[in-house]
């Protein structure tokens, strides 16, 4: 999806954002689930801003300070449904923090900032890259199991991000079963407790209802209770196996960050869905 960043920003802040603020139904509770990846100064300068997956520690620190000073309640994924029905106005400003790929910089850069503000987060691990010693994924070192266990003791929640971080949509169902089951079993073995959350790698094929139905069946059979997708939007918990998230990266200054938290970026999902549908016309069907 090639979306010009300036156009993206201008539409969010100057057109649709103000309109959404005027016409949206404010009694409908929606929670932003923020999707981070790497917290590092090693930014991918060659990629389009829409696809940037790195956030510098300085920008991340500003994001977390904004949440703290704006009195957002940073909740765990297990408290998601409860917060939606809670009548406490402060919980109306709830947010969930998620981190995909299990990079070591979460331990080195993100966690100290989270700890300073008393925030928790959920980290999704591709287990083939989590070892006794650091293993590189996408040229970046990932967490070790010792670091995972230490972070868990300090309140960080862990979930599966498959074994190998493959594009599940291109795979046979038996191979998807391996990715879902083995990753869950490995994490549970290492941290000695059950996990029940999964994060889908790559673009979530929401336009293919046959695939998403089969995926949900596999997730349920493996003991997962929820699946975090890459569908853009704030969430009201209508479908726990296609949970929307808001991508956040180094290009999000506080003005844009605030707009995303308030749901003004949700319009991008419509564009995202159209592009996925067009692309799927040429893609092969589930085997």
Burial class (CB in 10 A: 0-12, 13-18, 19+), 252: buried
Give, in words, the CATH class of 30-279. alpha beta
Report whether 206 contacts 273 (CB < 8 A).
Answer: yes
pLDDT tens-place string over residues 165-218? 999 999 999 999 999 999 999 999 999 999 999 999 999 999 999 999 999 999
Q: Return the residue matching tokens 């006794």.
A: 132
Mean pLDDT, rounded, for 88-102:
82
Top pLDDT among 93 and 286 is at 93
Top pLDDT among 88 and 134 is at 134
pLDDT for the residue 25: 57
User: Residue 137 CB: number of other CB atoms within 10 A?
Assistant: 18
Verdict on whether the full-model pTM lies above 0.85: yes
Report whether 259 contacts 10 (CB < 8 A).
Answer: no
Query: Quick one: pLDDT band at residue 88, thresholds 50, 70, 90?
Result: low
Mean pLDDT, rounded, for 244-256:
95
pLDDT for the residue 98: 98
Query: Quick one: pLDDT band at residue 1, thresholds 50, 70, 90?
Result: very low
User: Residue 197 CB: number of other CB atoms within 10 A?
Assistant: 23
pLDDT for the residue 277: 85
Domain regions of the chain by residue span: 30-279
Reply yes or no on whether the pLDDT at 13 is more than 80: yes
Q: In the chain, what percentage of residues exceed pLDDT 70?
A: 86
Average pLDDT, the chain: 89
Reply yes or no on whether the pLDDT at 164 is more than 90: yes
- What tokens does 245 get? 């998230």
b/e burial code for range 99-131 (CB count within 10 A of at least 16 → b)? bbbbbbbbbebbbebbeeeebbbbbbbbbbbbe
pLDDT tens-place string over residues 50-77? 789 999 999 999 999 999 999 999 998 8
């Amino acid at each position: 999806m090639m979306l010009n960043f300036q156009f993206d920003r201008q539409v969010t802040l100057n057109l649709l954002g103000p309109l959404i603020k005027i016409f949206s139904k404010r009694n409908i509770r929606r929670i932003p689930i923020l999707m981070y990846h790497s917290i590092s100064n090693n930014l991918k300068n060659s990629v389009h801003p829409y696809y940037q997956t790195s956030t510098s520690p300085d920008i991340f620190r500003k994001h977390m300070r904004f949440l703290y000073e704006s009195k957002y309640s940073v909740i765990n994924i297990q408290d998601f449904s409860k917060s939606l029905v809670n009548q406490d106005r402060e919980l109306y400003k709830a947010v969930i923090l998620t981190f995909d790929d299990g990079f070591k910089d979460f331990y080195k850069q993100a966690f100290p900032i989270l700890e300073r503000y008393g925030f928790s987060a959920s980290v999704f691990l591709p287990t083939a890259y989590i070892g006794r010693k650091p293993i590189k994924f996408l040229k970046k070192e990932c967490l070790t199991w010792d670091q995972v266990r230490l972070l868990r003791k300090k309140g960080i929640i862990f979930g599966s991000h498959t074994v190998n971080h493959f594009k599940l949509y291109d795979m046979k169902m038996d191979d998807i079963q391996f990715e879902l089951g083995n990753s869950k079993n490995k994490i549970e073995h290492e941290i000695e407790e059950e996990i029940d959350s999964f994060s889908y790698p790559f673009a979530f094929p929401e336009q293919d209802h046959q695939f998403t139905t089969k995926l949900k069946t596999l997730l349920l059979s493996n003991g997962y209770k929820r699946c975090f997708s890459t569908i853009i939007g704030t969430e009201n918990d209508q479908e726990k196996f296609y949970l929307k998230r808001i991508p956040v990266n180094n290009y999000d200054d506080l003005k844009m960050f605030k707009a995303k938290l308030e749901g003004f970026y949700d319009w991008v999902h419509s564009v995202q869905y159209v592009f996925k549908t067009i692309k799927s016309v040429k893609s092969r069907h589930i085997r």
